[in-house]
Amino acid sequence: MRRTTAALSLQGHRRGLGSCRAGGFVRRLATSLSPSSAFFTPEQKAQFQDDGFLVVDRLIDPSLAEAIKNRFPLLFRGEFDTGVYPDEWHWREGMGRDDVTREIVNSWKSDYTIASAVLSERLGRLAAELAGWMGTRVGQDDIWWKPPGTKAVSFHQDAPYFDFLNPRRELITCWIALDDTSRTAGTLEYVRGSHKWPQESKMLQNAFFTAQDYRASLDHTAKHLGLPRPEVVPVEVPAGGAAFHSGPTWHGSGPNTDKTRVRRSLAIHFLPSHATFQPTGVGYIYGRYKKWGSVEMEETFFPITYRHDGYRSPFLASYCSTTL
């Protein structure tokens, strides 16, 4: 018998999220987190281990989701209230094609409102709970903007894109919906249990933004492994809902075929607090943050947002308020 599924609830959890200076198939468990808790239940953690992802119907307050998405037009036209450019910037107002899905990487360095969520102690704690880590640091964030008519994002695993890390496959992503999501508007989609498949290379997961078959790399991998054509699981949650997934979990999103609905989201890629660089092969983007002769990850660029002993990277206390 097929499992019936719906979203979990974290409603009422607001600790650690706030403002900064200047400036379908998803299973429902019988249990949910109480409004004062920042921990997952054993059942929720078991579901994450089984499926490779966990969906919640409310992770942040809708007012914070609204505040974050209101920053998108400013960021994509190059107005950064910290004065710092993001690490990657795909699509610019007046320059990019209208049918391209828009992305900025590490906007927490550029915008205090987005930093208030990305650098939250609570979100770091929740990621550590699911992964079984003693602490978390931020590897990177992504903001995604999919207006009507924009293209798909091909199915892929996150882990191969973080192959500069040690340990290599240790990664948890928190994807937060900033608009009510639907499959027709190009919401995030998962393949249940795919985190247990062998890890593929980035070369097999090419054409990240595509107008063709966004499932091509997924179907190719499944065929190569002798598996039937995978069934995808759309994440349909209201604004402020979210999903957590592991680094090896296959996911992607279809084109936004809705005539009126926009799909905006914020994704945070968490690493274990003890993560280091690989000695070589760190790449042209993140290699700029590697110290000569050291594999240490500098906390200014990869901040520790939660650790079991209460430690957080010291600069966070003055950089970002979490009082909302």
Tell me what pLDDT residue 24 has.
42
155 strand-pairing partners: none
* Of 198 and 40, more confident: 40
Residues in a beta bridge with 297: 290
Using pLDDT thresholds of 50, 70 and 90, give the confidence band for residue 284: confident
Contacts of 293 (CB under 8 A, 6+ apart): none
Pick from 169, 38, 146: nearest CA to 98? 146
Average pLDDT, the chain: 85
Residue 271 pLDDT more than 80? yes
Q: Is the pLDDT of residue 51 over 70?
A: yes
Query: What per-residue confidence (pLDDT) applies to 168?
Result: 84
Asked if the model's pLDDT at residue 117 lies above 70, the reply is yes
pLDDT at 21 over 80: no
Cα–Cα distance, 323 to 110 (Å, whole number): 20
Percent of the chain with pLDDT over 90: 69
How does residue 99 score in pLDDT terms, banded at 50, 70 and 90?
A: confident
- For 213, other C-beta atoms within 10 Å of its C-beta total 14
Strand partners, 156: 251
CA distance 87 to 289: 11
Least confident of 25-29, 121-125, 245-249, 267-271: 25-29
Does residue 280 carry a pLDDT above 90? no
- Contacts made by residues 31-37, CB under 8 angstroms, sequence distance 24+: 32/8, 33/9, 35/11, 37/13
pLDDT at 204 over 80: no
Residue pLDDT, tens place only, 144-199: 999 999 999 999 999 988 888 999 889 999 999 999 999 999 999 999 999 999 76
Beta-carbon contacts of 142 under 8 Å, excluding residues fewer than 6 positions away, are 103, 104, 105, 266, 267, 269
pTM for this entry: 0.89
No. of H helices and E strands in the chain?
A: 7, 15
Query: Cα torsion at 236, 224, 161, 118 (round to 10°)?
Result: 20
The pLDDT, as a whole number, for residue 210 is 53
Question: Does pLDDT of 297 surpass 60?
Answer: yes
Does residue 22 have a pLDDT over 70?
no
Which residues, 6+ apart, have CB-to-CB distance to 177 below 8 Å? 65, 187, 235, 237, 238, 239, 240, 241, 242, 263, 265
Q: What is the pLDDT of residues 56-84, one digit of tens each?
A: 988 999 999 999 999 999 999 999 999 99
Q: Is 85 left (phi over 0), alpha (psi -120 to 50) or beta?
A: beta
Query: What mean pLDDT comes out for the span 111-116?
Result: 96
**Domain regions of the chain by residue span:** 42-319
109 or 231, greater pLDDT: 109
Q: What is the pLDDT of residues 218-267, one digit of tens each?
A: 998 999 899 998 989 999 999 999 999 999 999 999 999 999 999 999 99
Are residues 166 and 276 in contact, defined by beta-carbon separation less than 8 angstroms?
Answer: yes
CA-closest candidate to residue 93, choices 74, 66, 112, 70: 74
> What pLDDT, on a 0 to 100 scale, did the predictor assign at position 95?
78
Residue 290 contacts residue 197 (beta carbons within 8 Å): no
Residue 10's pLDDT is 52
* CATH no., domain 42-319: 2.60.120.620
> Cα 167 vs. chain centroid, distance in angstroms?
19
pLDDT at 30: 26
